[in-house]
Amino acid sequence: MKGSKVVVGISKFFGFVMLIILSVLVYFIFIIPLMFDSTKLPLNYGKVNSELFLSDGKAQPLLVYFGGSEGGNSLTKPSNVAERQQYIDQGYAVLAVGYFGMEDTPKELDRISLNAIYEEITLALNDSNINSNCVAAIGGSKGAELALVLASKYPKINGVVSLSGGHTVFASPSLYADGKTSSFMFNDQELPFVPFTYEMLPSLLMGDFRGASEIALTNTDAVQRALIKVEDINGPILLISGEKDQVWPSTEMSEKVILRLKDNGFSYPFKHIVVPGGNHSQPQNDYQTEVIEFLNENFLPRCGAYHQNTV
């Protein structure tokens, strides 16, 4: 009898847990979409958090760094000081940009203003220690998507590094936005995006984020409309991806960037490094040496003022 009671108790517990899960699902799938007003811009729209880190000397080339969908300003965190320092030790200034998930910035990665981010870069370029003709954008994951699309809009950015990035603009990953808004805005207009659909839900519930992204990418018409015009970027491009990226197919998407560059006769250096068996985080965590080597060889030579003031 005692064993039977234990079994009944466990069954009731799991039934209660399943009820909670189902309630949460109903809330996010059916209730939140009814409450969400896509005609209203997010609170703190156009607000950006940034911090400038300088190296020694004048005419420092500027690296603008974007984290991913974790939010916050990743390169200012204590755990990432060593990563940031590697660039500073090479003579680069670093502008760490947090574009959501911080006080006085948008709460979610939803319709982030490219114009506001570029204004923040422009302010940094006013620093007398910065070479205003030498600006590269670096991003990881969604930050890589941001770096590519931002550079495609602003020719002042003359170099890009995409770490575990993609080739197209995706919908906002905010649960509140319900996959129906773009991640980014330009001139206060939403950029075309690949929407998220209910077909992705089983994969997401199983924790198969890559599978969910692959389902989204089957919407070929939306993908075509949302492709990042990487051929408009005014400088060299480096892509690094993990062969076994578990979050989204960054290697396959990065290869599509390479193909687009080739098809458009891109005149600047470009390269794709695939991390053998690599996951989503390795390009961001372990490949600073390769990034610096590429920038030193392909980006700095375009910054004549940098060399003139450091010889």
Task: Write out pLDDT tens, residues 44-92.
Answer: 999 999 999 998 888 899 999 999 999 999 899 988 899 999 999 999 9
Looking at residue 4, its pLDDT comes to 52
Amino acid symbol at 147: A
Q: Are residues 1 and 132 in the same domain?
A: no
Q: What is the mean pLDDT of residues 27-37?
A: 52
Q: Is the pLDDT of residue 112 over 60?
A: yes
Q: Are residues 31 and 68 in the same domain?
A: no
Q: List the one residue out of 269, 61, 89 whose CA is nearest residue 156.
A: 61
Evaluate whether residue 148 is within a structural domain: yes
CB half-sphere exposure, 21, CA atoms < 13 A: 8
Q: Are residues 236 and 304 in the same domain?
A: yes
Looking at residue 280, its pLDDT comes to 96
Evaluate whether residue 254 is within a structural domain: yes
CB half-sphere exposure, 228, CA atoms < 13 A: 29
Evaluate whether residue 300 is within a structural domain: yes
Structure tokens at 20: 């909670």
Evaluate whether residue 42 is within a structural domain: no
Of 174-183, 203-212, 218-227, 295-304, the one with minimum mean pLDDT is 174-183
Q: For the chain, what is the mean pLDDT?
A: 87
Q: Are residues 7 and 118 in the same domain?
A: no
Q: How far is CA 290 from CA 164, 265, 285, in A?
A: 14, 25, 11
Q: Are residues 30 and 54 in the same domain?
A: no
Q: Are residues 22 and 117 in the same domain?
A: no
Evaluate whether residue 41 is within a structural domain: no
At residue 97, the 3 state secondary structure works out as strand
Give residue 17's domain range: 1-35
Number of structural domains (the chain) is 2
Of 21-25, 36-40, 221-225, the one with minimum mean pLDDT is 21-25
The contacts found for 83-86 with CB under 8 angstroms, 24 or more apart, are 83/285, 83/288, 84/53, 86/288, 86/289, 86/292
Looking at residue 33, its pLDDT comes to 56
Looking at residue 36, its pLDDT comes to 57
Q: What is the mean pLDDT of residues 1-15?
A: 46
Q: Are residues 1 and 117 in the same domain?
A: no
pTM attached to this predicted model: 0.87
Q: Are residues 134 and 258 in the same domain?
A: yes
Evaluate whether residue 143 is within a structural domain: yes
Q: Are residues 58 and 27 in the same domain?
A: no
Q: Indicate the DSSP class of residue 182.
A: B
Looking at residue 292, its pLDDT comes to 96
**Confidence bin at 311 (pLDDT 50/70/90):** very low
Q: Indicate the DSSP class of residue 102.
A: S
Higher pLDDT, 20 or 125: 125
Q: Are residues 4 and 68 in the same domain?
A: no
Q: Are residues 229 and 130 in the same domain?
A: yes
CB environment 151-177: b (16+ within 10 A), e (fewer): bbbbeebbbbbbbbbbbbbbbbbbeeb
Q: What is the CATH number of the domain that holds 83?
A: 3.40.50.1820
d(CA 97, CA 81): 14
Measure the CA angle with vertex 193, ends 114 and 269; round to 5°. Answer: 65
Q: Is the pLDDT of residue 43 over 60?
A: yes
Q: Is the pLDDT of residue 27 over 90?
A: no
Task: Write out pLDDT tens, residues 280-307.
Answer: 999 999 999 999 999 999 999 988 644 4
Higher pLDDT, 97 or 207: 97
CB atoms within 10 A of CB 231: 17
In terms of phi and psi (left: phi > 0; alpha: psi -120 to 50; beta: otherwise), the region of 66 is: beta
Q: Is the dihedral of CA 126, 128, 129, 130 positive or negative?
A: positive
Evaluate whether residue 26 is within a structural domain: yes
Structure tokens at 213: 């992204």
Evaluate whether residue 297 is within a structural domain: yes
Q: Are residues 23 and 135 in the same domain?
A: no
Structure tokens at 105: 């910035």
